[in-house]
Amino acid sequence: MKTAIVILNWNGKQLLEKFIPSIIENSNLENVTVYIADNASTDDSIAFIQQNYSTIKIVKNEVNGGYAKGYNDALKNINADIYALVNSDIEVTKNWLSPIISTFENEPNTAIIQPKILDYKNKSLFEYAGAGGGFIDKFGYPFCRGRIFSNLEEDHQQYNDATTIFWASGACFFIRSSVFHQLHGFDEDYFAHQEEIDLCWRVQNLNYVIKYVGLSTVYHVGGATLKEANPRKTFLNFRNSLFTLVKNLPKKSLFSIIFTRLILDGIAGIKFLLEFRPIHTFAIIRAHFSFYHFLPKMLKKRKIIAPKNDYYLTKSIVWHYFVLNKKVFKEIQKH
């Protein structure tokens, strides 16, 4: 299958210097091409690629539209069967592509695949953004096999399987190009963060499958473009999660779940205050006001295709984690 590895870049010369060598060394399969999708960088990162990697193709976006618009713009100009959307802070390993391409070839209904994502800074741990494959609870809070909130599991090959998941991490995200364009790509109103969860949900509403393939391993730095403690990240995560719920929840439960979620977000804001992190409380408040502003637009984006009622793995990951003290994925009770 013709595969395009597409790395979104914005002023990321240092990351490209560090991680491009692993991409080149471990991706020399037939029909695989590496692209840099540049989001209007002002540093010399593109000059660095041109001078040192003649086989890499460059697609230049006119503006920095974040993750969502950046990839949407770039992928209009890339012809391939499979898009591998890879963060610029990802180190790949030997044979990382073969198990994934083989799965696409053998499973025509599989539309999206994620590899195992481990922590580059501590390679024995799963990494926050994706770990062993993603799920959400009834109220839209995301978690992963190998990562629940801030608790990371050690990798003991417990997730070396291939299994169906609800969402795949945008840090290393494989998708059939036909499906990506059928759904018009990522929702650009998200700018960044959780747009992959929305796209995965929309893909499943079309009865495609999302898979995790644990025989493929990559290492992710995480927070290289926006640190975990950055209130901008808090704002985007809380607002965009609400966007995703409004767009994809079954109609009968839409308003009750949104109402409950808003209350839970308020409790999170109080928790930030008690932890002397008021800047994140204000980020949640701003997220809610932005959500209200965009609400009419998000309601218009709801599809005619009926969303699935069984979208969530467990009713409340918040209850399991903070009340029952369940920190590991295998301890989480399904439904």
245 located within any domain? yes
Strand 172-176, strand 82-86: pairing: antiparallel
SS3 content of the chain, % helix, strand, coil (to 5): 40, 20, 35
pLDDT tens per residue, range 249-260: 998 899 999 999
Residue 93: half-sphere exposure toward Cβ, Cα within 13 Å = 16
318 located within any domain? no
69 & 213 share domain: yes
Q: Which residues contact 108 (CB under 8 A, 6 or more apart)?
A: none
111 & 239 share domain: no
Q: What string of DSSP letters covers 47-106?
A: HHHHHH-TT-EEEEESS--HHHHHHHHHHTT---SEEEEE-TTEEE-TTSSHHHHHHHHH
30 located within any domain? yes
pLDDT band for position 1 (cuts 50, 70, 90): very high
331 located within any domain? no
192 & 258 share domain: no
140 & 270 share domain: no
Q: Alpha-carbon distance 264 to 253, whole Å?
A: 16
308 located within any domain? no
What per-residue confidence (pLDDT) applies to 169?
98
pLDDT band for position 333 (cuts 50, 70, 90): confident
Residue ending a domain, choose from 220, 249, 281: 220
pLDDT band for position 12 (cuts 50, 70, 90): very high
Other beta carbons within 10 angstroms of residue 297's beta carbon come to: 12
pLDDT at position 11 over 70: yes
Residue ending a domain, choose from 220, 244, 262: 220
Other beta carbons within 10 angstroms of residue 64's beta carbon come to: 15
Count up the domains in the chain and report the number. Answer: 2
205 & 248 share domain: no
Work out the mean pLDDT of the chain and round it to a whole number.
95
pLDDT band for position 335 (cuts 50, 70, 90): confident
225 located within any domain? no
Task: Give the structural domain span for 40.
Answer: 3-220
% of the chain residues with pLDDT over 90: 92
pLDDT band for position 224 (cuts 50, 70, 90): very low
201 & 58 share domain: yes
202 located within any domain? yes
What per-residue confidence (pLDDT) applies to 217?
98
pLDDT tens per residue, range 161-218: 999 999 999 999 999 999 999 999 999 999 989 999 999 999 999 999 999 999 999 9
CATH of the domain at 7: 3.90.550.10
